[in-house]
Every structure is written in C-alpha cells, then in structure tokens.
Structure 1
Amino acid sequence: MRSSGHGSAHDPDAFLAVLRPTTRRPAGASSRAATGQPTFPDRGAQQTIPEISRPIYLSGSVRLSDGSIPPVNVVIERVCNGVIRPEAYTDSKGNFNFMVGGQNSAVFADASVASPAIVGPGPQSGINERSLTGCEIRANLPGFLSDSIILGFRGALDDPEIGVIHLQRLANVEGYTFSLTTALAPKEARRAYEKGLDNMKKKKWADAERDLSKSVQLYPKYAVAWYELGRTYQQQKKLDEANHAHLEAIKIDSKFISPYGELATMAAVQQKWDDVDQYTSQMLKLNPYVVPEIYFYSAVANYNLQKLDLAERRAKEAAKADAQHRIPRINHLLGAILADKQDYKGAAESLQIYLKYSPEAKDADAVKQQLAEIEKALAGER
C-alpha cells in the first residue's frame, strides 16, 4: 500500500515463509538430475567504446481528467523496452522534476499495492542520450488510467519540460490508496503528520510514533495518519497497536484500501488465513487493479484453507498481472495448487516458469526434483 511512498514493501518471499507447498509426488516417481549447457564469451566480438552518459532532466505535471490536482503524491514511471522503473513523485501541486535514472529513484520503498517493483538497474549518475528514444513517461495511481508521453532523442541541454500527464478514473473502482479525509485535516495535524513521515523515512520509528500519535489526537478522523501510525507500530513489532491503528483507519474511511493490505500481511504472519482471505477479498472488491501481490496473498490464504478452486483462480490472476515475472513465487504456488488438483501438465508448466525466472532460489533443487517426478508421471500416462 502506498499513501506517502515511505515504508517497507510487502515481500512475497517473506509472506511465503508461512506457506509450505505440499506438492504431491506421483506414485512411483523418482527425481532426475537437471542439466544445463555452459555458455562462453564470443572471442570474435569487437570491443566498443561506450558512449558517454550525461545527466538528463525531465519535468512536467499530472492532472486528473477534470484538470484538478491529484489528492496525493503520484508515482512517475519510465518504461523502456517493457521495463518499468519508478523515477519520482509529484509534489503537492502535481508537478514533478527529476534526473533520469538518478538517486531519487532509490527512494521508492513501498510498492506493495500502489506501484510496481523497481525492475531496472540501480541509481545512475547519468544516462545515454540515445537510450531514451521510444521510452514512455507515465503516472501510476491505482484506480486511474494514465496517458503516456513518448520520448525521442534527448540531449542533456534540451528543455526538460515534457508536458501534462492526465489520469482518467477507471470504471468499477470504489477504493483508493488515499483517503478523502486528508483534505480536511487541520494545519497542526497535517504538520505533525508530515513530520512523522519524515521520521519514518529516516527510520526513527519512536519519533515517528510520537508525531503520528499527535496527528491523530489533533484530528481523530485522519485515516492516512492512522495508517502510517500502524506501519510505524509494525516496524517496532507492536502488532496489537498496529492492528488497532489500521482498523481505526478503515473504520474512518472504509474505501481507503491501504490498511487492508497491512492487516492481511499481519494476519498471514500469524497464519490467520480466514482473516487474510477477508482483507484481500475486500481490497479486490474495492479496487481490482491492485498489484499482483494481493491476488497472490489471496491465493496463499485459500490454498491453506483448502479452497483449491479459488486459490487456483487467484494465482492465475496474479500470474496474468505479473507479466514481467518479477514475483516467480506466484508460479511456484500455482504449480503446488495444480499438483494437488492432479493437473500435472499445468503443474509442470508452472514449476518450469518458476525455475526459469528464479534459477538461484534456495528451493530450486527441491522444485527440480518435484518437476522431474511430475514429468515422469506424465510420460507414464502417454
């Protein structure tokens, strides 16, 4: 969930720590050793002198379709060759200004619902002028469809202004990653809230707790402040207090979806699968355009509740949304579900995808053994 952009993202691998796939081995199956072909460098390849990278700046603004400023900070993304990379946030006036591939892109910490994970390389001091040709700049706010601005060749001395990106509200979306109560916050409450966010970014959790507690005391209906206070409690392992804060947030604004994700995560750690199913289902009802992790978490919950049909459907929805395969665990889970349903062909395909995109995983050898047994069973059926 992202409301301010600060905090830690939900980690699918950490979430799966409480999931132990029970992929059944087909009768009489045995494991086979996996083999691979080594690759060698091309000795005939000529060495080329790399082009000089220079800092390139871009600026612009984001507006809703009616011309108004978005009520929260919006993530600005750069998409090059299908790779998505968050670059900046808009300010309170809806404007943005950033150095492409610069240090600002390392700030993005909470990508659980609102924004995709950072897929590109690490922060850079500059970028090749030709490499931006054909790239897109777009905005990311769940529940809204963004325009894209296509970039051409850009030099370091070109005018950085690229124009206005418009956001169009999607149909059938009731919930958002921001709360409408934010605009009503008094100045003192907002000041305490902003100070709390600053301390969260610095990982000064006790100070952040103090500031955010003051904020909700000054304005008890400050849903987003309750949410951030809950996340601050989570960082300090105060789970009862965190649970209370997130429940307060959704009691104030039931269409503010971010707290549901935190409640689902805490419930999963405690293996309270009914609660995980409840919170993720509510999120998906309010906003079906959330990131793949939420479908994945729902699949984990229903798998553990032995609701295999629903678990399969959620896992497939997660896989469809994760076109870049940045969460290979989705396919691992789907493979386990299909194996339990004795769909060995589908299970094999899913496990192959998992190994393709996560070859160095700690459980890779175990998954290879499962896959070999499934493939042997399939061969026996032919």
Structure 2
Amino acid sequence: MSWSRFLSCSVLSAAMLAAQAQSGSPTGGSAAPATGAGTGATTGNGGNTSGGRSGSLGGRPTPDFPNQLPQPGTDSSETRPIFLSGKVRMDDGSAPPESVVIERLCTGRGNPVQEAYTDQKGNFSFQLGQRMGMMTDASSGGFGSMGAPEISGPNGRGGINERDLLGCELRASLPGYRSSVVSLAGRRSLDSPDVGIIILRRLADVSGFTTSATSLMAPKDAKKAMDKARAALKKNKLPDAQKELESAVNLHPKFAEAWYELGRVQSMQNQMDLARQSYVKSVEADEKYVRPYLGLAVLEAQQQKWGEVKQLTEKVIKLNRYDFPSAFLYGAIANYNLQQHEQAEKLCRAGLDIDQFHSLPKMSHLLGILLAEKQDFKGASEQLSAYLKMAPKAPDVETVKKQLADIDGKIAHVNP
C-alpha cells in the first residue's frame, strides 16, 4: 500500500518561508510585519504564515506543512505579568562577546519568540510576552512551522497566561553557539524573577552564520535605511519597507542582510523573480550568510525543482547544521520527491536530533510515512503518535489519526 496517498498536498509559498524564525535568530533583530503579511504572515517574533496553495509537488504527494500551534487560553482574567531576569555566560564564565537574544520556545508551537536582548555585561530583564518587535527570520523556518501566528498572550495581547508556559523553555541565541535552557513550566507571576545563568557553548564545524559581517561595513545612511525598513515592516507597510531596503542596497551593494530582507519583502508581495535576484545578490555579497540559501530553496520548491532544493539544503547543512533544522526537513521533502527515500529518512532522523525544541513536528509525520512505506509499522506508529502529541490542533490531525489507526491495525494483525 502507498502510504503517501494519505499525505495532503501543498506547494510552499515564498511568504511561508519568510515567516520562519527558529534557532539562529539574528542578533541584530528585525521588525516583523503584522499578522497576515509576513513572509507569510509574521507576527513580531513568532513568525508565521498563512499556508500554501494546494497542488501536487513534483508529481508526488507531499506533506502539508502548516504551523502546529496550540491555541493559548483565552480567559484574559488569568493573564498576569511575569517578569524574568538572569545572566548569559560563556562556558568559561565570561560575558558573551556581543548582545544575545533571549528566546522563549514552546514544544509543538513552532517558532521561538524573541523576548529580549542582553546588555553589554550579558544580563537581561524583561516581562514575558512584551516582545521587542524584533523580526522573525525566514531562513530557519520549515514546512513544519508555518501557519498560525505565535501569540504573546490571550487574544494576542501583551502578558502571558501561566498555563501557556507548559512545555516552554528559555534559551539564549548566538550564532555558532548552543545554549542551555531554563524550563518555564509552573512559573507564576509572584515567583522570583531570577532564572539564574544560561550557558553558551561554542559549536564545532560551523562555517556559516545567521548574520553577515557585511552589515558592519555598511555606511551610516545604509544602516539608517535598514532601520526604517524594519520600522515599516512592524506596521506592515511593505512598499515602504521595500523602498528603504532598495535604498540600503544602493548605498551599500555588499549589504547581504539588506539584500536578504529585500528578497523577503518582495516574496511577500509575490514578486518572485525579484526575490530570487535579491537572494542571489545576498549570497554573492556574503557566501557564509546562510539565510538566503533557504530563501532560494523555498522559491525552488514552489517551482517543484527538487534537485535545486536538495542542493541548496545540502549547502545550508554543510555551512551550519545546528541553527537551521528546517534545512533537514526541506532536504527530506526534496529527496522524497526525488524518490530517494533512504536519504529522506536519514535527513528526518538527523533533523529530529537537531530540532531539540520540537519546533518542526512535520518532521515526525514525514518520517512516519517513510517508515510505513517500508512496512516498519511499529516505527511509523511511534512517529505519527509523536506528531499528534506535538501538534494536537494541526489541520490534518484527523487524517493523521486515520493513518495511525490503519497502521496500528496492521500491527495488531501481525501480533494478535
């Protein structure tokens, strides 16, 4: 039996990719469009999208990849301010070499929420849910973290509901480093705000980064234009943002991050050819800057060019396998459509190891399908069950439940 026939079909839009923000958030931060516009539809730092259009990918059914975001509680009376403070230190005890982003990530809810920056000494203090308006990043996202926006509190208002912190952790984000985490489960508004010390440890074999050194060389006017673009994005003024980004790259043609952001804004407005050109310009300006490679990957996915998607995701993984877990999912999807199922399975398994916060639940779904196709029904059942646990309100839950019931029935038949 072909288990792939159960898979819902989707073609990723460039907007979907651009709304993603996972590990490897930019230390400089950027502004996010309001819900509904994002590089899909991003909201602050949660990153988000409205989903893709239906269709067959490369002639083979492919998993749909909406964000599996459980909805927070809606009783605003339960929302009370929760303050947190602490320190970020390197594993030798020193302060970080630069400002570090503090992120909140909740199991099965997709993208991390960027809550605050550290000061020059590595200290931080903030109220949960009062986000900085930093921009969610396109490149870290994947098929499994798209769809509904991350919400800062009930009804999208500031503040956080205590029960919304179940399965949530706090971490520091600095390219090339791995962070220890602090569990937020059970934390209440009257608890001591001090969460202690978050440790950053340098990763080996990382040659690609989430920020570009070319930004440091940008002249003052180019940086000012970039700031104006971010402010326009906060207000969902895409044409204004595009105008400022065009000004930034004209003033500094090697401004890799500005080229990348311009590609994102162009993709939000369905200017796909221009977006592709901007992503290529970003790569040319700084080949170690990883984000535009994934921007290109989603454009190629729209065109069902799975060979190109495979090459681009392999490049990302080679440059930086730690900060871009979605590259494993994109790569797995590409290999699946190329009928290279063994490689697709390897990428799914490697991606699950990298995605320590389970922000891409669709990785488990795809792995479950791959295992079912090779008649490893026990393994398939485990993966589909994991997907349902991580994404209990996903749009395809009923379909996956039917898949799981069918698989479990086969297991029972073999082992009565």
- Give the residue type in structure 2 aligned to 1:272: K
Shift of 1:81: 11
Q: Tell me the CA shift for residue 166 of structure 1.
A: 6.5
Q: Aligned partner of 1:268: which letter?
A: A
Over 3 Å counting, the alpha-carbon distance change for 1:126 and 1:302 in structure 2 is closer
**SS of equivalent residue, structure 1 residue 193:** helix
**Structure 1 residues 221 and 94: alpha-carbon distance in aligned structure 2, compared to 1, 3 A threshold:** farther
Contact 2:108 2:360 in 1 (8 A): no
RMSD: 4.3
Look up the equivalent residue of 1:6 and give its one-letter code: A
How many angstroms does 1:139 deviate by? 1.6
Q: Distance in 1 between matches of 2:391 and 2:141?
A: 24
Separation in 1, partners of 2:62, 2:138: 29
CA contact (8 A) 2:129 2:153 kept: no
Q: Does 1:321 align with 2:354?
A: yes
Q: CA deviation at 1:64?
A: 10
1:77 aligned partner, one-letter code = E
> Using a 3 Å threshold, how does the CA distance of structure 1 residues 63 and 5 change in structure 2: closer, same or farther?
farther
Unaligned runs of 5+ in 2: 1-20, 33-41, 64-76
Question: Residue by residue, what CA displacement relative to the aligned partner does 1:17-45 show, whole Å, maximum 9, x if unpaired?
Answer: 7666589xxxxxxxxxxxxxxxxxxxxxx
Name the larger-Rg structure. 1
The alignment status of 1:101 with 2:135, answered yes or no, reads no
* Pairwise CA distance, 1:265: 1.5
How big is each residue's C-alpha offset from its partner over 1:179-229, in whole Å with a ceiling of 9 and x where there is no partner? 111111111111112111221222211111111111111111111111111
Aligned to 1:139, the other structure's residue is in SS state strand
- State the 1:126 CA deviation: 7.2
Residue 331 of structure 1 is matched in structure 2 by 364
Q: 2:31 — aligned with what? A: 6
Match of 2:137 in 1: 110
Deviation at 1:240, TM superposition (A): 0.5
- 1:141 maps to what in 2? 174
Matches within 5 A, 1:140-219: 140-146=173-179, 167-219=200-252
Kindly provide the CA deviation profile for residues 109-163 of structure 1, in whole angstroms up to 9, marking residues without a partner as x: 33752899869855654788xx99xx98642123213466899x999898x8989
- Measure, in 2, the Cα distance between the counterparts of 1:91 and 1:205: 29
Aligned partners of 2:182 and 2:398: how far apart in 1? 44
When the two structures are superposed, what TM-score results if normalisation uses the length of structure 2? 0.68
Identity of aligned residues (%): 36
- Structure-2 separation of matches of 1:222 and 1:111: 17
Could you say if the C-alpha distance between residues 164 and 174 of structure 1 is closer, same or farther in structure 2, counting changes exceeding 3 Å? same
User: For the structure 1 residues 164 and 213, does the alpha-carbon distance in structure 2 shift closer, same or farther, using more than 3 Å as the test?
Assistant: farther
1:229 aligns with: 262
> Could you say which residue in structure 2 is the equivalent of 1:351?
384
Moved more, 197-206 or 177-186: 197-206
Q: Is the 8 A contact 1:144 1:169 kept in 2?
A: yes
- Which blocks of at least 5 consecutive residues in structure 1 are unaligned? 24-49
Give the secondary structure class of the aligned counterpart of 2:216: helix
Q: Which SS does the other structure have where 1:103 is aligned?
A: coil
Partner of 1:90: 117
Secondary structure of the residue aligned to 1:184 is coil
Q: What amino acid does structure 2 have at the position aligned with 1:110?
A: D
| 1:292 is aligned to 2:325 | yes
After superposition, the Cα gap between the structure-2 partners of 1:364 and 1:300, relative to the gap in structure 1 and judged at 3 Å, is same
Pairing partner for 1:77 from 83, 99, 103 = 103
Q: In the comparison of the two structures, how many residue pairs are matched?
A: 349
Q: In structure 2, which of residues 401, 404, 409 is the aligned counterpart of residue 368 of structure 1?
A: 401
Answer yes or no: is 1:261 the counterpart of 2:294.
yes
Supply the distance in 2 between the matched residues of 1:280 and 1:12 (Cα, whole angstroms). 23
Moved more, 365-374 or 312-321: 365-374
CA distance in 2, matches of 1:58, 1:290: 25
- In structure 2, do the counterparts of structure 1 residues 11 and 329 end up closer, same or farther at CA, with 3 Å as the change threshold? farther
Confirm or deny: 8 A CA contact 2:172 2:200 kept in the other structure: yes
Contact 2:266 2:275 in 1 (8 A): yes
Distance 1:323 1:273 in 2: 26
Check whether the contact 1:88–1:98 (CA below 8 A) recurs between aligned residues: no
Cα separation, partners in 2 of 1:61 and 1:207, compared to 1, 3 Å: farther
Change (3 A) 1:162 1:294: same
Residue 298 of structure 1 aligns to a residue in which SS? helix
Report the residue type matching 1:103 in the other structure.
Q
How many Å separate the matches in 1 of 2:238 and 2:78? 44
Question: Cα–Cα, structure 1 residues 120 and 315, in superposed 2: closer, same or farther, change >3 Å?
Answer: farther
Q: What residue number does 1:30 align with?
A: none
Change (3 A) 1:114 1:330: closer
2:328 and 2:82 mapped to 1: Cα distance?
A: 38
